Amino acid sequence: MLSPREQVSLLRRASSHGIEPAVHAIGDRANEMALNAFETVRVTVGIQPTHAVDDRDVADRHWAGRTHRAYAFADLLAAGAVLELGSDAPVAPLDPWLTVASAVTRTDDERPSWHPEQRIPVADAPAGSSQGRRLIRVGDRADLVVTDGDPLTADARTLREMPVLATMLAGGWTHGPSL
């Protein structure tokens, strides 16, 4: 709806006033314009990895030979974008472990990864579900999840079905053995 020049101007203005701009773009041209505009500011890209595995058959059927450009998560990460993983619920299940597994494996069944070159490293996926945090430090908000497995070494099935032992929200246990 905006020219590239207008978009860049608005993004810079918002960013200079401490506002994190958000752009919703669908389609090759719209995404190209948005990404070109965002070259001037820090970019956080909201992605829905489960769509990649949900859409693979339709995409291959209708856009054969062009799907290597679809859901280019690794390319975005390599370009310096901060990835924010989401589910797009209720379109897809609101389960962060399915989202993480889809981002890391690019499959949700026994088939090989769909465009495996676009998988993101397992260490980057949890950060994409926790506002970029990778470590717990003094002063951080105490929103935690305790799992019964190590997501960094889990196989695809375990990652999709990651057993959660306990959760903490704002320093208080909301699920788990201490309740």
Q: What is the pLDDT of residue 154?
A: 94
pLDDT along the chain (179 residues), means of 10: 84 86 82 80 84 94 91 90 88 90 94 96 88 83 88 92 91 82
Q: Which two tokens stand for residue 11?
A: 């993004």
Q: Measuring CA to CA, how many Å separate 162 from each of 5, 17, 112, 137?
A: 45, 40, 21, 24
Q: What is the pLDDT of residue 22?
A: 79
Question: How buried is 173 (Cβ within 10 angstroms: 0-12 exposed, 13-18 middle, 19+ buried)?
Answer: middle
Q: What is the pLDDT of residue 178?
A: 63
How far apart are the C-alpha atoms of 71 and 117, rounded to whole Å? 11
Q: What is the pLDDT of residue 39?
A: 75
Indicate whether this model's pTM tops 0.95.
no
How far apart are the C-alpha atoms of 167 and 26, rounded to whole Å? 35
Q: What is the pLDDT of residue 3?
A: 84
Q: What is the pLDDT of residue 126?
A: 85
